[in-house]
Amino acid sequence: MNRTSSTGRVALVTGGSGGIGKAVVERLVEDGFAVAVHYAGNAAKAEAIVAEIAGKGGQAIAVGGDVADEAAMAAAFEATTAAFGGIDVLVNTAGIMLLSPIATLDLADLDRMHRTNIRGTFVVSQLAANRLRAGGAIINFSTTVTKTSFPGYGAYVASKAAVEGITLILARELRGRDITVNAVAPGPTATPLFLDGKDEATIASLSKAAPLERLGQPEDIAETVAFLAGPARWVNGQVIYANGGLA
């Protein structure tokens, strides 16, 4: 059965049960979106978010699948369309970060990041390019480390530089469709993806690196996404750095 949001707009958020993804889901729901909360492996977490949204009067469903699997993601797009009548916004927060100096990187880790971060972004961007309604937005995720070039991030940055390339070219390929395509590049943000594996001294140092002298919060990034998903119709083919002035 189709359901309707208060704005009639619908978003699919990959990685929607994660740190930034969950904040994005909650922020878009505040703006009246119906949201499909995508998960890769933790269905219970996604269902809990959906239940919380429903309890507050919002509209949401959970959809699963490997972002790099085109059949699984096509099914996620179809489930979202069946539930809400169409899709206006695709937010691709799904990603993995495995850190190591380039000289000692386990190449299996390079392959894992390539599959999720590059192929996954390509798969969902391709599906969105063929399925989003006019007036829609595709929002991918890069990283500020493409500018700061922190040691240990070589393979991760390589994957995110590819995301930027996909994003900027797709924006131009969708000429005449009234669909914007942009990437958000967060700075150090207090999520498990960022915090895991870092000692307190490293976290403290990074929290002071930006002029605002704090780590970003998932809600800070979600505000940028909400801008691109809603009023920012003249922002297209851009990488937006949400990093407190770090770079």
Catalytic residue numbers, as ranges:
156
Amino acid identity for residue 164 in this structure: E
Which among 5, 171, 2 is positioned nearest to 82, based on CA atoms?
2
Q: At a CB cut-off of 8 Å and minimum separation 6, what does 202 contact?
A: none
Per-residue burial over 7-36, b = 16 or more CB atoms within 10 Å of its CB, e = otherwise: eebbbbbbbbbbbbbbbbbbbbbebebbbb
The backbone torsions φ and ψ at residue 207, rounded to the nearest 5 degrees and listed phi first, read: -70, -20
Q: Give CA–CA dist 145/125, Å, rounded.
A: 22
In eight-state DSSP terms, residue 58 is -
Please compute, for residue 209, the number of CA atoms within 13 A of its CA located in the half-sphere on the CB side: 19
Token digits of residue 179: 């669909």
- Give the Cα separation of 104 and 30 in Å (integer): 44
DSSP reduced 3-state for 41:
coil
- Tell whether the torsion through CA atoms of 117, 119, 121 and 124 is positive or negative: negative
Please tell me the distance from the alpha carbon of residue 21 to that of residue 185, in angstroms, as a whole number. 14
* Sole residue written with tokens 């469903």: 61
Number of CB atoms found within 10 A of residue 81's CB: 17
